[in-house]
Amino acid sequence: MMTTTENIKQEAVANNNAPVIVIKDLKKGFGNRIVLNGFSIELKRGESLVILGKSGSGKSVLIKCIIGLLQADSGTIEVLGKNIDRLDHKHMDELRSHIGFLFQSNALYDSMTIRQNLQFPMRRHLGDLSREEVNRRVIETLTNVGLAQTVDMMPSELSGGMQKRVALARALILNPEIILYDEPTTGLDPITGREISKLMTDIQHKYRTSSIIISHDMNCVKRTADRIALLVNGVCYALGTYDELSTSDDENIKQFFE
C-alpha cells in the first residue's frame, strides 16, 4: 500500500503544472469582525507570491489557515491537491512536512540549542533517520543559510538577523515544496532585511520551492515577488507583477508603492 508521502510526491510529479495551493472563497472572522471575506487565489509551482496588505488586514490569518493553525469559517483550501478541511490530524501532519513556515517572531525553541531546533521537525516527521544523517542535514542546511558555526549555540546568543536565518533553516530542513513566510524582514535593519530577501530568492532557486510571502517591506517585495496579491477588505483586490501594480492608477494600489 502506498504511503501518503509517496502519494503526494507522485501526484505532484503527475501534476507538475497544477497550482500547489488553491484557495477558493475563503472566509474567516473573529467574533463580529470579518477578516477574510471570500479570498481566492492560486499559487503556481515554483512561484513566489507576495500577499500585500495593511496591518490587521488578515495576511497572517490567511497563511495560518493554509497551514491549518486556524480553521476557516467557509471556503476551500487545497494544498498539493489535498483539501485540508477533509484531512484528519495524521494526514494534516503528513502534509505539513511538505510545507515550511517562517514565523514573524522566528519561534525558535529558546530552551533548545540551534541543533536541537533543527532536529525537532526531523525527529517528528522522519523518525527513522540515523543520528549521523540527522546531523549531516542540520549542518548542510545551516551552511546553506551561512550559519554552520552556530550549531551548538542557544537562540538567545544570536542576533535578530541570525535568528531569522536559523528559523529559515528550520523551515527548510525537511526540503519542503512550499514555504510560507510571515513578514520575514519585519524588525530587521535595512541591510539585514536585504540579506534575508536575497537568501529567500537563493533558496527559491536552490530548493525549487513555491512560496507565499506576507510582507509590507517594499524592498523585500520588489526583490522576491513573481506576483503580488493585494489583500484589501478581506478579498484579493488586485493581482499582478510588481511592475504592473506599481504603475497602477488605482488609489488603493498606489498607496502601497508610494
Partner 1 sequence: MKIATSIRSFLSETGSVARFVYRYLQELLSPRYEVRQFIRQCFIIGYNSLPLIGVTGFIMGLVLTMQLRPTLLTYGVVSKLPVMVSLAIVREIGPVISALIFAGKISSSMGAELGSMKVTEQIDAMEVSGTNPFKYLIVTRVLAATLMLPVLTIMSDAIGLYGSYLGVNIRDHTSLNLYFFEVFNTLHFGDVLPAIIKTFFFGFAIGIIGCYKGYNSSKGTEGVGRAANSAVVISSVAVFIIDLLAVQITDVLGLN
For partner 1, give the closer residue by CB, 82 or 96: 96
For partner 1, give the closer residue by CB, 105 or 149: 105
For partner 1, give the closer residue by CB, 101 or 242: 101
Eight-class DSSP state of 144: H
User: Closest approach of Cβ 241 to partner 1, in Å?
Assistant: 30
For partner 1, give the closer residue by CB, 118 or 231: 118
What span, in angstroms and rounded, lies between the C-alpha atoms of 241 and 74?
29
Question: How wide is the angle at C-alpha 92 spanned by C-alphas 44 and 125, nearest 5°?
Answer: 100
Find the part of the chain contacting partner 1 (CB under 8 A) among 118-126, 143-151, 233-241, 248-256.
118-126
* Residue 237, number of CB atoms within 10 A of its CB: 17
> According to CB under 8 A, which one of 101, 181, 242, 256 is a site residue for partner 1?
101
What span, in angstroms and rounded, lies between the C-alpha atoms of 145 and 158?
14
For partner 1, give the closer residue by CB, 82 or 227: 82
Helices assigned H by DSSP within the chain? 4-14, 59-67, 89-96, 114-125, 131-144, 160-172, 190-207, 218-224, 242-246, 251-257
User: Closest approach of Cβ 192 to partner 1, in Å?
Assistant: 19
Sign (positive or negative) of CA dihedral 109, 110, 111, 114: positive
Residues 6+ apart with CB under 8 A from 79: 20, 21, 66, 95, 98, 99, 178
Question: How wide is the angle at C-alpha 116 spanned by C-alphas 128 and 95, nearest 5°?
Answer: 50
For partner 1, give the closer residue by CB, 61 or 236: 61
For partner 1, give the closer residue by CB, 37 or 135: 135
Applying the rule CB under 8 A, the residues between 123 and 152 that interact with partner 1 are: 124-125
Pairing status of strand 74-79 against strand 82-83: antiparallel
Query: Does the footprint of partner 1 cover residue 30 (CB under 8 A)?
Result: no
User: Closest approach of Cβ 97 to partner 1, in Å?
Assistant: 6
User: Dihedral angle at the C-alpha atoms of 183, 143, 8, 83, nearest 10 degrees?
Assistant: -10
Query: Does the footprint of partner 1 cover residue 175 (CB under 8 A)?
Result: no
Query: Does the footprint of partner 1 cover residue 104 (CB under 8 A)?
Result: yes
> According to CB under 8 A, which one of 65, 108, 158, 178 is a site residue for partner 1?
108
Map residues 56-75 to x or -, x wherever contact with partner 1 holds by CB under 8 A: --------x--xxx------
Sites of contact with partner 1 (CB under 8 A): 64, 67-69, 89, 93, 96-97, 99, 101, 103-110, 120-121, 124-125
